[in-house]
């Protein structure tokens, strides 16, 4: 069976092992914490991290709420190996599974999520895949469940548009430009989400990261 196509964590710059060092340049603690605050994981919650990569966001969710069950999903087995090593190091019982974000029901047949989080994934995906991932997130969530997305969104100033060119050169203009044009809230509504809002916009060295929040109404 052929592996479905996806853009790797560092886009055309490849090498997953470099990823954590590169993403640290975005001042990741700030926007990751903001995303966790909006997620507000509670004891007993089932949280799915879509496109979990090397597991940094999943592990922060766990650090802030160790009584939640956290499952990370990513198609890149090298990133999952990194994530598992990082989880082992801090004895975090986070599960990591191999799979695409548009096939969550198949990857997680045993999981109905209270909350879904996803960071820096959708900007790397073609428009039909952005739509399919959001539909799949909607499917895996329980009614009333919450979606939190931290990703490059509308780039509102010339400075942020210029900074975001670095990401666009790595991940390609076709997939990243719709994010910079502010397409995500509309796509979330089309996927069936309600109460869609931009909770925070955080400038970074490589463009502004927006934390979006939505609910399965």
Ligand X SMILES: C[S@@+](CC[C@H](N)C(=O)[O-])C[C@H]1O[C@@H](n2cnc3c(N)ncnc32)[C@H](O)[C@@H]1O
Given the complex with ligand X, which of 43 and 205 has the nearer CB atom?
Answer: 205
Binding site for ligand X (CB under 6 A): 6-9, 23, 50-53, 56-57, 74-76, 79, 100-102, 119-121, 124-125, 129, 133
Name the residue number minimizing CB distance to ligand X. 53
Given the complex with ligand X, which of 45 and 74 has the nearer CB atom?
Answer: 74
Closest contact distance (angstroms) between CB of 143 and ligand X is 24
Given the complex with ligand X, which of 14 and 44 has the nearer CB atom?
Answer: 14
| Range 23-30 contact pairs with CB under 8 angstroms and sequence separation of 24 or more | 23/56, 23/120, 25/204, 25/205, 25/206, 26/204, 26/205, 26/206, 26/209, 27/202, 27/204, 27/205, 28/56, 30/202
Closest contact distance (angstroms) between CB of 33 and ligand X is 13
CA gap 176, 39 in Å, rounded: 24
Closest contact distance (angstroms) between CB of 133 and ligand X is 6
Closest contact distance (angstroms) between CB of 5 and ligand X is 9
Given the complex with ligand X, which of 101 and 185 has the nearer CB atom?
Answer: 101
The count of C-alpha atoms lying within 13 angstroms of the C-alpha of 98, restricted to the half-sphere facing its C-beta, is: 9
């Amino acid at each position: 069976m052929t592996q479905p196509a996806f853009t790797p964590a560092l886009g055309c710059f490849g090498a997953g092992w470099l990823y954590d060092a590169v993403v640290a340049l975005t001042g990741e603690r700030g926007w990751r914490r903001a995303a966790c605050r909006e997620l507000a994981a509670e004891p007993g919650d089932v949280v799915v991290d879509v496109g979990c990569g090397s597991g940094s966001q999943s592990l922060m969710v766990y650090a802030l709420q160790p009584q939640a069950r956290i499952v990370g999903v990513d198609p890149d087995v090298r990133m999952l190996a990194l994530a598992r090593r990082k989880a082992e190091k801090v004895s975090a019982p986070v599960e990591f599974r191999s799979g695409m974000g548009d096939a969550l029901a198949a990857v997680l047949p045993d999981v109905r999520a209270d909350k879904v989080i996803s960071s820096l994934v959708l900007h790397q995906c073609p428009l039909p895949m952005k739509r399919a991932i959001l539909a799949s997130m909607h499917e895996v969530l329980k009614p009333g469940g919450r979606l939190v997305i931290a990703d490059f969104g509308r780039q509102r100033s010339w400075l942020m548009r210029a900074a975001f060119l670095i990401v666009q050169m790595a991940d390609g203009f076709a997939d990243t430009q719709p994010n910079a044009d502010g397409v995500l809230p509309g796509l979330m509504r089309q996927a069936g989400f309600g109460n869609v809002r931009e909770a925070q916009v955080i400038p970074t060295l490589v463009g502004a990261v927006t934390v979006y929040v939505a609910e399965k109404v």
